[in-house]
Chain A
């Protein structure tokens, strides 16, 4: 009874022996691997890393060398159209322009068509947050994060809402193959260009018996020419929110210069192996104004391999770091040998 009474608890006269455990953990004697970063252990790793990087780098360079890439800036070539678009009151006037180019060789394999934008700050924070994923999932949403493109003054909600959707790229680019003075339209695929999960899970149309009724009570975004349920009138499964042009646009780019996949060449008839050599024409319906923010527009044709598109960076980076690692390896060896000689000299 009295033991509990003493106020500072450690003041007792008798205390039980507190001999500690003898476990390896408590004695900090757990069996352990004790690596040391000595020259002997590190040298091989430098050479190995160097060799590996060089090998990969050379492979990458070789692979990307046989890739095809053609990038055409059409914002100047269509100067008439771009001037027209500078004035927003002309928004419903159609404007077409054509861009010619020549392929000297056949392009074999899958050919991808991209549109590219420059100086378009898709990654600006105000822009990035102005979207509603819930709406694009086909849900009915009350709360919205789409400012300043949420509703019209009269309260009609925009579908899809937000600055991203509102500014969707709306040029139409068709590719023609000029064979013997007759222009053959190159057949292209509109679908299968976006992530499978985006197309099938992340973007859903509201449920209704038909698409236009699903979007009843909503209005198109102010900069659009047509409502969302008319994005692709030919293909029901590529219409509304699940339209792949919209899906791809909605994936905001990381930088102000970016390209998005637009179409793939459908490999049928004379295009079964890719694009044959010859003269081609891009026929562009010019809708998207870029001059106001000093932007540029490109159209790009490219083939793709496993290591990505035709970006030389990876290959060069691998080669450079491989070379650096190998050189460093040699330098360290030299230092090591020099020091060892000195040491043995002293020992003698």
Chain B
């Protein structure tokens, strides 16, 4: 039994002796750890990681230091830490608690959130790492935990189990050495893919035989590229699931963090929204203000103190160490102390509030039932809440066509054989070209990668295989399914692939068998696929189907003109067309081709490139058979959505891999192009006629001449009298434009191109490779206006542009979940984009911009009196407010109302926003966070602060015999009330929650103050606030003063609002008034 089978095969047929440099990018694996005896060969044991998956960031031990380190890498947190440390080290006016407590709060909340997330990851990791795995040790089956798996172990996987690591497929329980696998959790494709066992080992069916295997495998070092075709046909990837196969054996080659899945599982680059960027700019402005305030005060302090009777009067003497301190050191300490005193102008709590607002706010998106799709049972997904407000700022939408604008629900419409049209539903089909026709149908039956679902075991379905309707076809491409189903209706049924034989049921109900020799699989660059089959008669055929542009140049005979005209006609109608061609191969030709293919497939380096070269060699000299047409219906309300987006001032670009005619037809259908749109073409065809240079200049002349003669009203949008331009560009032309020119003036064409695009209301880019889509997005993104872009798509080919655009949106569609997973937001249908941008985006933007401005405003109001007070207390850094007020102002007295505003505010109703897309223009270009708005808010803050301070000052002047803490409390009371009421004035949507929060936080302030002043607090070393608040409330002038000051500080803002609304109303305000009156009128009528 122990026949030692000494067998060395190397995966990739490459020997180890290739040299030192190859050592690095290949690895040698001894199957079953049967290492050669020492000395036989230059054996250097390689170290591989174990099979532990670690997606968690922290361990129990390093959580605190690592998390703290990461948190303090954020500039804001670091700034607050510095302030806190300064407070600890030097003698500062405010206690370290005032900044330490909020910082601690922020850090703790973030740490808890991150810790919880990491705990979840740990749990998931553990579940995976401890999952039992069967593997073979000394000829016996052993169960072990998954994490103990090592490279070289032989593993057994049963049906419906997931592969524990990347395996080389050794043998299968199926006789033909194949197995079926679904990679749903890797790339979302639920189709069953076939994998093949290594030829040399596929005969080993039980543990003992496998265990006896002596072999080494040489393979590439792990590579993360998941989007390349998933490895070779005998590499089973971790995360994929075994289907329709009882069990398989495989040897582990990549384990743990080196598996393809783990290598691909990496964080996407972080996108930052425009609001966040302007927030950071404002922060810097405030930081400058802060520093200059501190500087001014420090300088003034020393000027003021230059007279000794002020510096140290008899009643207020310095301590001994204070006197001795060096002047510069003293000045520096004073500067720091002033910084600390005014540091609240940049509030810690703003970051927490913004983050909470984004996080909680994003739930409203996922909760929206209008964005829930009943058919698929899917609702919107929010993958990152950082970009919520960016949804309200979109200027360009780049959309994919297939599956996004269209249903991707393909229906076979017709086929054209030798110029004659066949429609599946018409029963009487003339058979004229018997031979070509047979070939055409067989070509369609054979040339695909469709799988038939094995429904022997599925009880719900009929068992009779010969019945034509019982088969369920699965494929990653819906076009193929549509074609195979369409051909079924024309009388030819594809039954199954068994033992490398494809079985077809023909019109006469006979089963024909073809041996499948090679599959030259589809890729988006070649835009075609081929199969090589051997018929039962022994003839070898190569069938090819693909896009017309990739087939016609390779055809040497056939009725090219007739077919081409039919294809073009179909394309204009918006149908997806494919051409079918074939060639007959002699045995010699086939063996040549096979050899080429085999070499290319086994190449360790540049496999893709070599394969492409070989395909190019094989796929030529075709005989054209015919063409097919498949309809892809528009998604519901696609036209409505596009129209709304255009009205909202958003430019919509369609980027597709489809051919120009089809894509243009779709664009007309979804109203991207209208009847009066003048189409400009920038295509390869045109460029062949003229030079690129001339074409570009002609186009720009056309566009610009028109605009020059008209005074362009940018805000009226799509005025009827303005000429609409639509641009069509194809991939080849684009790459010419993008290509840097010899003389180095590459920017020239780009600028010209951008200029043309800017003046076109719609642009269609067809025949785009996935990377070109991203290129276009990048081009627009980096153009001089820096517009905010959004990319939406559903397939793996859209991932690159989704990642590139400011906001990436995935459609949870049929082509797998890759797009949805890589996106920032995912929605079930294209039509949901309308509500997402026009309603949710608009709301999010309005909410967060008010939140940001308000936060700065309320802290100016808070700190500016403190600054003014320095002029009256000899620049001694005396605080105006008590420590408790300093600490709690941002945390509790004024935080919840604005957070709630950030979640609930609706300045106009959602229905109105949806009905009037043009309102979106009101917030375009970061309108609410421009410098003007920012300066207004800041000045309002300064004005209010001046009113508070000097109002209270004159009130106190010479009259009331209250102390400094009463003065501070008076100012603070006016401040809290003014700031809260200012928010109340800005709130346009008062639910009971708003009432509760706004009045509640004022009541809370009063209760807190009563309590804080009501008790001699035993743990405090001062009792300065004792009874201060009550005493203030018991005095008439204080009441009168508070009421007056609140009124005076609010009135100017009210006045400004009313005047602006009256004199320069925005569209939103006009609508508000309109609906306000409508409601009033309706109310009056009903009350009559």
Binds A, one of B309-317, B457-465, B528-536, B747-755: B309-317
How far, in whole Å, are A103 and B93 apart by their CA atoms in the complex?
Answer: 47
Q: B906 to chain A: which residues have CB within 8 Å?
A: 28, 32
Contact mask for chain A residues 255-278; partner B; CB cutoff 8 A; 1 contact, 0 none: 111111100000000000000000
Q: A12 to chain B: which residues have CB within 8 Å?
A: 184-185
Segment 246-302 of A: residues with Cβ below 8 Å from B: 248, 251-261, 289, 292-294
Binds B, one of A93-101, A208-216, A234-242, A305-313: A305-313
**Pairwise interchain contact A26-B319, C-beta atoms closer than 8 A:** no
**Pairwise interchain contact A163-B316, C-beta atoms closer than 8 A:** yes
How far, in whole Å, are A48 and B238 apart by their CA atoms in the complex?
Answer: 75
**Pairwise interchain contact B878-A335, C-beta atoms closer than 8 A:** no
How far, in whole Å, are A346 and B1047 apart by their CA atoms in the complex?
Answer: 38
- B1044 to chain A minimum Cβ distance, whole angstroms, is 6
Segment 75-94 of A: residues with Cβ below 8 Å from B: 88
Q: B953 to chain A: which residues have CB within 8 Å?
A: 255
**Pairwise interchain contact B1048-A321, C-beta atoms closer than 8 A:** yes
**Pairwise interchain contact A124-B956, C-beta atoms closer than 8 A:** no
Name the residue on A nearest B878 (C-beta). Answer: A125
**Pairwise interchain contact A254-B315, C-beta atoms closer than 8 A:** no
Q: Is B379 interfacial (CB-CB < 8 Å)?
A: yes
Contact mask for chain B residues 76-119; partner A; CB cutoff 8 A; 1 contact, 0 none: 00000000000000000100000000000000000000000000
- B897 to chain A minimum Cβ distance, whole angstroms, is 15
Instruction: Count chain B residues whose beta carbon lies closer than 8 angstroms to a beta carbon of A.
Output: 110
**Pairwise interchain contact B1022-A328, C-beta atoms closer than 8 A:** no
How far, in whole Å, are A149 and B1062 apart by their CA atoms in the complex?
Answer: 64
How far, in whole Å, are A19 and B374 apart by their CA atoms in the complex?
Answer: 8
How far, in whole Å, are A133 and B182 apart by their CA atoms in the complex?
Answer: 76
Q: Is B506 interfacial (CB-CB < 8 Å)?
A: no
Given contacts A124-B874, A133-B1023, A311-B958, contact A34 B910 (CB under 8 A): no
Q: Is B684 interfacial (CB-CB < 8 Å)?
A: no
**Pairwise interchain contact B989-A32, C-beta atoms closer than 8 A:** yes
How far, in whole Å, are A7 and B817 apart by their CA atoms in the complex?
Answer: 14
Of A11, A32, A223, which is within 8 A of B186 by CB? A11
Given contacts A11-B817, A28-B364, A252-B964, contact A120 B315 (CB under 8 A): yes
Q: B936 to chain A: which residues have CB within 8 Å?
A: none
Name the residue on A nearest B903 (C-beta). Answer: A28
Binds A, one of B609-617, B635-643, B1032-1040: B1032-1040
Given contacts A163-B315, A321-B1047, contact A336 B1062 (CB under 8 A): yes
Binds A, one of B515-523, B691-699, B1000-1008, B1053-1061: B1053-1061
Q: Is A230 interfacial (CB-CB < 8 Å)?
A: no
**Pairwise interchain contact A253-B963, C-beta atoms closer than 8 A:** yes
Q: Is A198 interfacial (CB-CB < 8 Å)?
A: yes
How far, in whole Å, are A314 and B446 apart by their CA atoms in the complex?
Answer: 96
Segment 97-153 of A: residues with Cβ below 8 Å from B: 114, 116, 120-128, 130-134, 137, 143, 145, 147-149
Instruction: Count chain A residues whose beta carbon lies closer than 8 angstroms to a beta carbon of B.
Output: 107
How far, in whole Å, are A208 and B426 apart by their CA atoms in the complex?
Answer: 117
Given contacts A32-B989, A39-B1058, contact A293 B821 (CB under 8 A): no
Of B161, B956, B1036, which is within 8 A of A2 by CB? B161
How far, in whole Å, are A185 and B678 apart by their CA atoms in the complex?
Answer: 105
**Pairwise interchain contact B127-A22, C-beta atoms closer than 8 A:** no
Segment 1037-1075 of B: residues with Cβ below 8 Å from A: 1037, 1040-1041, 1044, 1047-1048, 1051, 1054-1055, 1057-1059, 1061-1063, 1072-1073
How far, in whole Å, are A163 and B316 apart by their CA atoms in the complex?
Answer: 6
**Pairwise interchain contact B265-A195, C-beta atoms closer than 8 A:** no
**Pairwise interchain contact B964-A335, C-beta atoms closer than 8 A:** no
**Pairwise interchain contact A335-B1062, C-beta atoms closer than 8 A:** yes
Q: Is B739 interfacial (CB-CB < 8 Å)?
A: no
- B906 to chain A minimum Cβ distance, whole angstroms, is 7
Of B320, B878, B957, B966, which is within 8 A of A123 by CB? B878
**Pairwise interchain contact A317-B1073, C-beta atoms closer than 8 A:** no
Name the residue on A nearest B132 (C-beta). Answer: A1
Q: Is B67 interfacial (CB-CB < 8 Å)?
A: no
Segment 296-348 of A: residues with Cβ below 8 Å from B: 306-311, 313-314, 317-318, 321, 324-325, 328, 332, 335-336, 339
Q: A255 to chain B: which residues have CB within 8 Å?
A: 872, 953, 956-957
Q: Is A65 interfacial (CB-CB < 8 Å)?
A: no
Q: A126 to chain B: which residues have CB within 8 Å?
A: 316, 318, 876
Q: A197 to chain B: which residues have CB within 8 Å?
A: 1026-1027, 1031
Contact mask for chain B residues 161-201; partner A; CB cutoff 8 A; 1 contact, 0 none: 11000000000000000000010111010100000000000
Q: A35 to chain B: which residues have CB within 8 Å?
A: 988, 990
Q: B989 to chain A: which residues have CB within 8 Å?
A: 32, 34
- A218 to chain B minimum Cβ distance, whole angstroms, is 19
**Pairwise interchain contact A37-B817, C-beta atoms closer than 8 A:** no
Binds A, one of B365-373, B540-548, B855-863: B365-373
Q: Is A10 interfacial (CB-CB < 8 Å)?
A: yes
How far, in whole Å, are A35 and B1054 apart by their CA atoms in the complex?
Answer: 13
Q: Is B931 interfacial (CB-CB < 8 Å)?
A: no
Q: Is B951 interfacial (CB-CB < 8 Å)?
A: yes
Q: A332 to chain B: which residues have CB within 8 Å?
A: 1055, 1058-1059, 1062
Q: Is B303 interfacial (CB-CB < 8 Å)?
A: no
Of B190, B990, B1061, which is within 8 A of A38 by CB? B1061
Q: A18 to chain B: which residues have CB within 8 Å?
A: 372, 377-379
**Pairwise interchain contact B261-A7, C-beta atoms closer than 8 A:** yes
Q: Is A155 interfacial (CB-CB < 8 Å)?
A: no
- B948 to chain A minimum Cβ distance, whole angstroms, is 13
Q: Is A4 interfacial (CB-CB < 8 Å)?
A: yes
Q: B967 to chain A: which residues have CB within 8 Å?
A: 254
**Pairwise interchain contact A125-B873, C-beta atoms closer than 8 A:** yes
How far, in whole Å, are A333 and B502 apart by their CA atoms in the complex?
Answer: 87
Name the residue on B nearest A6 (C-beta). Answer: B185
Name the residue on A nearest B1024 (C-beta). Answer: A133
Q: Is A56 interfacial (CB-CB < 8 Å)?
A: yes
Given contacts A6-B162, A37-B1054, contact A202 B1023 (CB under 8 A): yes
Given contacts A11-B817, A28-B906, A335-B1059, contact A124 B963 (CB under 8 A): no
Of A114, A123, A130, A260, which is within 8 A of B964 by CB? A123
Of B309, B315, B965, B1031, which is within 8 A of A294 by CB? B309
Q: Is B239 interfacial (CB-CB < 8 Å)?
A: yes
Given contacts A124-B874, A128-B964, contact A42 B1063 (CB under 8 A): no
**Pairwise interchain contact B377-A167, C-beta atoms closer than 8 A:** no
How far, in whole Å, are A56 and B985 apart by their CA atoms in the complex?
Answer: 25
**Pairwise interchain contact A167-B315, C-beta atoms closer than 8 A:** yes
Q: Is B431 interfacial (CB-CB < 8 Å)?
A: no
Q: Is A20 interfacial (CB-CB < 8 Å)?
A: yes
**Pairwise interchain contact A19-B369, C-beta atoms closer than 8 A:** yes
How far, in whole Å, are A332 and B873 apart by their CA atoms in the complex?
Answer: 42
Of B985, B988, B1027, which is within 8 A of A195 by CB? B1027
**Pairwise interchain contact B873-A124, C-beta atoms closer than 8 A:** yes
How far, in whole Å, are A255 and B966 apart by their CA atoms in the complex?
Answer: 12
- B190 to chain A minimum Cβ distance, whole angstroms, is 6
**Pairwise interchain contact A145-B876, C-beta atoms closer than 8 A:** no
Q: Is B960 interfacial (CB-CB < 8 Å)?
A: yes
Contact mask for chain A residues 141-183; partner B; CB cutoff 8 A; 1 contact, 0 none: 0010101110000000000000100110000000000000000
What are 12 A-B pairs at a CB distance below 8 A?
A: A7-B238, A11-B817, A28-B906, A29-B910, A127-B315, A148-B318, A201-B1016, A257-B958, A309-B959, A321-B1047, A321-B1048, A336-B1062
A34-B990, A195-B1031 given. 18 additional CB < 8 A pairs? A11-B188, A11-B817, A15-B378, A26-B363, A28-B364, A29-B910, A32-B989, A34-B909, A37-B1061, A49-B1051, A128-B878, A133-B1024, A167-B316, A293-B313, A306-B1036, A308-B960, A321-B1048, A335-B1062
| Chain A residues proximal to chain B, CB less than 8 Å | 1-2, 4-13, 15-22, 26-39, 42, 45-46, 49, 53, 56, 60, 88, 114, 116, 120-128, 130-134, 137, 143, 145, 147-149, 163, 166-167, 195, 197-198, 201-202, 223, 248, 251-261, 289, 292-294, 306-311, 313-314, 317-318, 321, 324-325, 328, 332, 335-336, 339
**What are the 3 tightest A-B residue pairs by CB atom distance, in nearest-first order?**
A11-B185, A167-B315, A308-B1037
